[in-house]
Every structure is written in C-alpha cells, then in structure tokens.
Structure 1
C-alpha cells in the first residue's frame, strides 16, 4: 500500500487512547480475535493478531479460520475510516470526534484469500481510498509474520 508520510498531522494522545479503547476494549469481538492496534495514523492503520487455538479453522494444519481473516480485515477497514474521519475533523476536540463513529457500519466487503493463514502472528494494514460524506471505501491487507501477503480486502462503510 502506498503511504504519504507527513500528509496529515499526527493525532493527539487523547484521540489515540480513546480510539484504542473503543477498538480493543469496547468492541468485544475484537477482543475475541485478539486484534491490537500497532499504528494509528490519518493515512492508514496497522494491526496485529497473535495465533491462538480459538482461531484455528483447520486442525490438521493449525491454519487460521477464513472468518477470522475476513472479520479482522473488516475491523481494520473500519478503523482506517475512523482515523480518516478523525483527521478530517481535527478542529474538534478529540473526545467529540470519537462520538462520530456511532453510525459507522460495513455495507460491502470483499476478501480474496491468496495463501493459507499459518503462523505465530499476523499483521493487518488498511487505508481509506475515498472518504465521502456518506460512504468510505477502503483497501486492506493481511500478512504473515515474514511480510508475505496472505489475503487482501476491500470494503465500503456507511459514515453518516
């Protein structure tokens, strides 16, 4: 994914902490997945999942369940939209911006599984391709610990 470092100002610590709390603690399914935020920036987000027995889809190969990949990429796409919305409204106080996410929801999701999800941990990346007044479009990647691309995704989210 192409990034343009320095394209937007960094977020305030209060905004990062609040968004991290929403994403990692208040969205309980993200806890089940073990999804953690690694990087939160206006131009894109990075997350991580540790492999654990509850996420196995094929017991013979200790392979990650495809639903885990899909749900994780969907969550990361949503997080990228949250970051983009937060960057669009930097004139508002951090806690006020966090309330903008209450209407966010997935309206379309496509996942392409390229390789098996086998490994000790995985990295997820997401960026917003277009943030409109009602709909946001995202692109996501699911990578192995060695950086090999395992799955890609694209999604649309309602933002208003």
Structure 2
C-alpha cells in the first residue's frame, strides 16, 4: 500500500513541538510508508523531543487468543519497537533543529533495532491501546529507549526497552 495522501483520520492535528512540515512528513513515513505499521494500525498522537505517543485500535486480525479476545503479543512487541524507533527519530529531529526539515528526515536512513526487551505484565484486552516511548540516551551511534503499552483506562500492560543504531 503506497498511498501518497494521508489517511482520513490523519487529517486531525497531532501535538508536536516541530514545524508542520517535519511533523506531517514524519507521520506520513511512520504511518503510511512503513507497511507493517499500517498492518498494526499505528497512529501518532504526539511528537515531542523527549516523548512520543501513539495508539492502535483492536481489530479481529490483531487477536492472538481468540477465546479471550486478547491482543497478540507480537502486536505489542512490534508496536513498542516501532515506538522506540519513532522516539529516536523525534529526539534526532530535535537535536538538529538548525537543519531544514527534509535534511533531518534524511538522517533516519540507517535507523534500526539492535536490541529489544518486552515485559508482558497483563493481558491486553479492550477497544484501544496507547503506546509511549522516550529516549533515555541519544548518542552519535546508538540510542537507548524505554516504552510503555497501556489499555484505554491507562493500565500498564507491557513495558519495553530498546537499543537502536542511529548511524
């Protein structure tokens, strides 16, 4: 699916410290050009230098335990991994605010996961889930992140930690 226009629900604005050109393009890359994020249904809610937020909505194709209607653990893991990467993108974008938006976006070409740990704390059931990530350290080559996955009531369901190659 290579859509060039924003999906209908992307027409709402997100909370962001970045200029609209950077925010809109980063959302487009994350939500439309990363095909697996489309499968997950990830939608960005907030882009800040130190924290990013997004959500997914429960759908039948994301269920891992059909009897209890629980979200598949792989969906949680993939969501937290994607959020860690998004947090690194935001932190990198904030670090280089002296550059034009497209130059900052070009910095993400080598971003990749080095290590990922997920702790599953509670079963994930419900209509909607929220994920957050923050960068603990942004080095010149490696970034470390912490992530959380919560239900619609704000209960912590899973937490994660990741390391990402930056350059």
**In the alignment, does 2:134 pair up with 1:127?**
yes
| Alpha-carbon displacement from aligned partner over 1:48-95 (angstroms, at most 9, x marks no partner) | 000000100000011000000000000000000000000000000001
Query: 2:145 is matched with which residue: 134, 138, 141?
Result: 138
TM-score normalised by the chain length of structure 2:
0.90
Q: Using the alignment, how far apart are the partners of 1:27 and 1:41 within structure 2? A: 20
Q: Using the alignment, how far apart are the partners of 1:90 and 1:77 within structure 2? A: 20
- Aligned residue pairs, count: 152
Q: Using the alignment, how far apart are the partners of 1:10 and 1:70 within structure 2? A: 27
What is the SS of the residue equivalent to 1:129? strand
What is the SS of the residue equivalent to 1:75? helix
Name segments (4+ residues, structure 1) moved above 3 Å.
none
**In the alignment, does 2:20 pair up with 1:27?**
no
Equivalent positions of 1:10-159 (< 5 A) are 10-159=17-166
What RMSD in Å do the two structures reach over aligned CA positions? 0.8
Q: Using the alignment, how far apart are the partners of 1:81 and 1:23 within structure 2? A: 12
Q: Using the alignment, how far apart are the partners of 1:10 and 1:72 within structure 2? A: 23
Q: Using the alignment, how far apart are the partners of 2:17 and 2:132 within structure 1? A: 18
Q: Structure 1: any 5+ residue segments left out of the alignment?
A: 1-8
